[in-house]
Amino acid sequence: MEQLRTNAENIAVEVGDWIRKQWANIKKVDLKSNHTDLVTNIDRKSEELIMKKIKERYIHHHILSEEQANGQNGFSILASYDDYCWVIDPLDGTMNFVHNISHYAVSIAVMKNGDPIVGVIYEPNRRELFSAEKGKGAFLNGQPIQVSKQDRLEDSLLHTGFCAPDWNVNSSLQSEFQKGYGRCRYIRITGSSALDLAYVASGRIDGFWQRGLSPWDIAAGVLLVEEAGGRVSGIKNEDYRMKDGNMIASNSKIHLPLYEMLNKD
Ligand code: IPD
Ligand code: CA
Ligand code: CA
């Protein structure tokens, strides 16, 4: 498994470093499901580079990648793959990238029988490589990381995000924000769910929740959080099984109060 992790790390760093130099080369910004859902020629090229590198070494492994999935439900595709599957977000945080905001990442997970066994998230602007291996811990640039020790929701910094279809006046996020006002330190939307999870794993923030995510947004991050001592659950606090995209991730100490906050009437 160590070789798998090293290869995933090398691919993420190589391609992430390439993406960092590509902002001036954005030629095309296409809309996917709506005007918040963006894809550029750089997302597509990044995906091509990553897939080529995986196929060179792991010809028999499945690959589930955001732009190849082309609007299909990633969880359904994932359920049809047993054995090894690489789950890729070639550029998580495309809106930030398009607006020249240096907060985006390459996310690569290797799954075996539906569970992540390797998770790598590389943020090329700060040269931060978050990486985890099942049973072996979580690391930032090779140094072990752990979730925060915060046990008071009032002092907790939380991140969340919109999925594209939820960007409307009836959004569930609107009521969830209202439930959070004054009950935690702050709630932020920074535009990369992969980095949100990496930041929970490294103790920079205390919790994250979001609805409507896809496997490529979270597969690597879920393993990072768990290996760093945190907890990942469904939005109803049920065990998380990579079957849907509604999730809460935290340092585990604030998990229950965060769940209760979100589910308050
Ligand atoms: C998006 C980001 C964002 C999240 C969206 C995702 P993309 O991914 O992770 O933080 O709120 O739901 O779709 O499109 O930049 O790869
Ligand atoms: Ca994404
Ligand atoms: Ca993406």
Q: What is the mean pLDDT of the chain?
A: 95
CATH domain 153-263 topology: D-Maltodextrin-Binding Protein; domain 2 (3.40.190)
Cα–Cα dist 262/156, whole Å = 14
Ligand nearest to the CA of 68: 3
SS3 192: coil
**Residue 62: which H helix or E strand, with range?**
strand 62-65
Domain 2-144, what architecture? 2-Layer Sandwich (3.30)
Contact 138, 109 (CB under 8 A): no
**Cα of 1 from ligand 1 centre, angstroms:** 28
Q: Which atom of ligand 1 is nearest to the CA of 160?
A: 11
**Residue with CA closest to ligand 1 atom 8:** 92
pLDDT category of residue 265 using cuts at 50, 70 and 90: confident
User: Is the pLDDT higher at 90 or at 81?
Assistant: 90
Is the CB of 215 inside a 6 Å radius of any atom of ligand 1? no
Record the tokens describing residue 82, joined without a space: 């047993």
For residue 37, the ligand 1 atom closest to its alpha carbon is 14
Q: Which residue has the higher pLDDT, 12 or 79?
A: 12
Q: With beta carbons less than 8 A apart as the criterion, state whether 160 and 248 touch.
A: no
Check if 213 has its Cβ closer than 6 Å to any atom of ligand 1: yes
Q: Which ligand is nearest to the CA of 161?
A: 1
Query: Which token pair is 46?
Result: 């990044």
- Residue 89 vs residues 77, 109, 174, 179, 251: alpha-carbon distances, Å: 15, 9, 27, 31, 24
SS3 21: coil
Among 47, 190, 193, 222, residue to substitute to test ligand 1 (most atoms within 8 Å of Cβ): 193
Per-residue model confidence as pLDDT tens digits over 153-207: 999 999 999 988 888 888 888 889 899 999 999 999 999 999 999 999 999 999 9
Q: Which ligand is nearest to the CA of 32?
A: 1
- pLDDT at position 34 is 78
Strands 231-234, 84-92: pairing is unpaired
- How many other C-beta atoms can be found within 10 angstroms of the C-beta atom of residue 172? 14
pLDDT of amino acid 200 = 98
Average pLDDT of 202-220? 97
Structure confidence by residue, pLDDT tens digits, 24-41: 999 988 898 778 888 999
- Type of residue at 257: P
Non-local CB neighbours of 103 within 8 Å, separated by 6+ positions: 93, 96, 123, 125, 190, 191, 192, 195
CATH 3.40.190.80 domain locations along the chain: 153-263
**Rounded distance from Cα 6 to ligand 1 centre (Å):** 26
d(CA 189, CA 84): 33
Say if residue 1's pLDDT is above 80: no
Range(s) of the chain covered by CATH 3.30.540.10: 2-144
Contact 69, 77 (CB under 8 A): yes
